Structure 1
Amino acid sequence: MFSPSAFKDDDLQRQLQHIENTRLAVLITQGEQGLQASHVPLLLNPDEGPNGTLYGHLARGNRQWQELERGAEVLVVFPGADAYVSPGFYPSKAEDPRTVPTWNYTAVHAWGTSRVYHEAEPLLDIVRRLSDRHEQGRERPWSVDDAPADYLQGMLKAIVGFAIPIERLQSNRKLSQNRSTLDHDGVRDGLAASPDPLDNQLAALMQQP
């Protein structure tokens, strides 16, 4: 990921929080089957390893798990908030029209080499923790224990689990830091006034230190 110094973010705790907040990540490998990508929900254990460890699973029919088992390096992309930035947001444009549109965004990339699980016990643990996380807040949260045991065992045979100790992290927070305070605030206010909730989400990030 291209990381200009103005937007590069090396704050580990903020990187891990970004990962925690991302509901669906992109798992990318390059191996014998070529370049592959899968969209997967992941769990983060921030206390396992120097940069945390990711857990998830793939359908057994998704041959990407074979690349994981062969020890291919994995790139996991965690997209965040993003928004189109119009030159009209810049108060300075009134004096100097030499400006063009851009895009503000946040993203974290993580690299590592995975361990693969075929056994029912670690697979059940991954599925249970993923389900518990995303069922939080529901009036009647679903649990893996609601499914018949024989049905659940059959479903576990149809997936492959993995763990990815994070070896390195890279993140960008492109939030108009390269503009003047006046233009930065103009972008923030313009996005905050937008009817698009994704623009509002990016504006909220621009209010943070």
Structure 2
Amino acid sequence: MFIPEHYKNNDIEEVYEFLKNNSFGILVNTVAGKPWGTHIPLELEKHLGQKDILVGHIAKANLQSKNLVDGDEVLCIFNGPHSYISSSWYQNEEVPTWNYIAVHVYGTVKIQTPEELLKSLHALVDKYEQQSEHPISLNNMSKKTMRQVSGIIGFEIEINDIQAVNKLSQGREHDHPKIITELEKKSASEKAVAQEMKKQMR
């Protein structure tokens, strides 16, 4: 990913927090010589003394699954808040632009065993059911329902490289108050960009 130096985010703890909070990503590999992407949850797991990993699963019916092989390198893309930035918000004339946060993760694939897949599914469901008014558990589902697990493959991606960008009007700090004010008038995504810009000002 092309990242001008002043937009790079080299704070790994901040990047990991972003990955935890924006875990619905895009898994990219190659199918029949063409790039192929699937939108899926990719959960970060940290391992002391070892490389950290992303954990996910896809349907066996997805052609991408036939091209996930142990040792292959894949790309995972994670998007955060983004917004158009009007140059009418600047003190001096300049072209409009776009502010955004994104992370690209490159890693090596390892296909999970059925036991590892089931363990990761339990962890995934338990994580997101915590916010439910009436949380469910895979432990309480029938054997018939759980047979659907045979239709997916699980994998781990050992992280080799992380590229993180926070493009938040750096270099235009004198315009930040006006940009933030305008963003806060708009939708949730624009307001989230405004919040991220405020963090940069602290």
Bin the TM-score by the shorter chain.
Answer: over 0.9
**One-letter amino acid of the counterpart of residue 189, structure 1:** T
- Using the alignment, how far apart are the partners of 2:95 and 2:190 within structure 1? 18
Q: Give the TM-score, by structure 2 length.
A: 0.92
2:166 to 163, 168, 173: 173
1:198 corresponds to: 189
> CA RMSD of the aligned region, Å?
1.6
Q: CA deviation at 1:123?
A: 1.4
- Using the alignment, how far apart are the partners of 1:21 and 1:57 within structure 2? 18
Q: Give the TM-score, by structure 1 length.
A: 0.89
User: Is 1:155 the counterpart of 2:143 in the alignment?
Assistant: no
1:109 to 104, 112, 132: 104
Deviation per residue, 1:152-182 (Å, 9 max, x gap): 1x11111100000100000100001121x22
2:126 is paired with a residue whose SS is helix
CA 1:9–1:37 in structure 2 vs 1: closer, same or farther (change >3 Å)? same
2:105 is paired with a residue whose SS is strand
1:137 is paired with a residue whose SS is coil
**One-letter amino acid of the counterpart of residue 177, structure 1:** Q
Q: CA deviation at 1:10?
A: 1.1
2:126 to 120, 126, 132: 132
Flag structure 1 segments of 5+ consecutive residues without an equivalent: none
- Using the alignment, how far apart are the partners of 1:70 and 1:166 within structure 2? 14
1:27 corresponds to: 27
2:116 corresponds to: 122
**Percent of aligned pairs with the same residue?**
32
Contact 1:49/1:166 (8 A) holds in 2: no
**One-letter amino acid of the counterpart of residue 140, structure 2:** D
- Using the alignment, how far apart are the partners of 1:31 and 1:10 within structure 2? 32
1:164 corresponds to: 157
Deviation per residue, 1:141-161 (Å, 9 max, x gap): 121122102431x11111100
Deviation per residue, 1:39-73 (Å, 9 max, x gap): 00111112356652100101011121222215331
Contact 1:58/1:161 (8 A) holds in 2: yes
- Using the alignment, how far apart are the partners of 2:33 and 2:130 within structure 1? 37
Contact 1:57/1:126 (8 A) holds in 2: no
Flag structure 2 segments of 5+ consecutive residues without an equivalent: none
1:53 corresponds to: 53
- Using the alignment, how far apart are the partners of 1:33 and 1:150 within structure 2? 37
Aligned length: 200
Q: CA deviation at 1:31?
A: 4.9
